[in-house]
Chains A and B, each alone.
Chain A
Amino acid sequence: GEDVEQSLFLSVREGDSSVINCTYTDSSSTYLYWYKQEPGAGLQLLTYIFSNMDMKQDQRLTVLLNKKDKHLSLRIADTQTGDSAIYFCAENYGGSQGNLIFGKGTKLSVKP
């Protein structure tokens, strides 16, 4: 079945860049998403990218999409302690308003 894979943990120092990687399997996905979940909280949409784009930048966030390799990454520049959270990659299965398939999430720890 369709799947989204992410590494489970990432640890960086404050001020460094963080890169969270994700691979997905559904080639018909039209959108790919990054969500952030802080402890005990809901899922906050950080950014999304349309599948015909290869890059999207939004302030400190840069999303890179390699559609051929079905690889998505999220780069957070100048990582802060407030960025510590779990980051979920998701694809919309079947395109358009299809349901979202989530990865297991990458726990980002930012050390001062």
Chain B
Amino acid sequence: EPEVTQTPSHQVTQMGQEVILRCVPISNHLYFYWYRQILGQKVEFLVSFYNNEISEKSEIFDDQFSVERPDGSNFTLKIRSTKLEDSAMYFCASGSRGRGYTFGSGTRLTVV
């Protein structure tokens, strides 16, 4: 069964450093998403991406965040200057119209 692949599975970074989280969505999907889950809290929407541009973003997705689809297969989330409160599990998801979204297994980001 097709999967959404995320790397790395765990990233530790120092406060103020830039991190890039990587995702390979399912190949025939057109919609791409990033969500995050702070420990013990709800899964929260960050951003959706369609047709090579951001289609929607939440209040969490401020200027520190950016997304990119640098080639036909990867979808990345960059956090420019990480803060302690960015520590969370970050999930990538992809979907096609009218179907369920498939999530990756997540990247656990720890900011120290």
| Residues in A lying within 8 Å of B, measured CB to CB | 31, 33, 35, 41-45, 48, 88, 90, 93, 96-105
Pairwise interchain contact B91-A42, C-beta atoms closer than 8 A: yes
The 8 A CB mask of B16-43 against A (1 = contact, 0 = none) is 0000000000000001010100000111
CA distance A102 to B101 in the complex (A): 13
Identify whether the interface residues of B are mostly helix, strand, loop, or mixed. strand
Instruction: Name which of B68-76, B79-87, B102-110 contacts chain A.
Output: B102-110
List the 8 closest A-B pairs by CB distance, nearest first: A42-B105, A99-B45, A43-B103, A102-B43, A45-B100, A48-B100, A42-B106, A42-B103
Q: How far is the CB of B106 from chain A (nearest CB, A)?
A: 5
Pairwise interchain contact B42-A100, C-beta atoms closer than 8 A: no
Interface centre among B42, B97, B98 (most CB of A within 10 A): B42
Partner of A97, one of B31, B58, B103, B104: B31
CA distance A93 to B48 in the complex (A): 12
Pairwise interchain contact B102-A99, C-beta atoms closer than 8 A: no
Given A42-B91, A43-B103, decide whether A98 and B56 contact each other with a Cβ distance below 8 A: yes
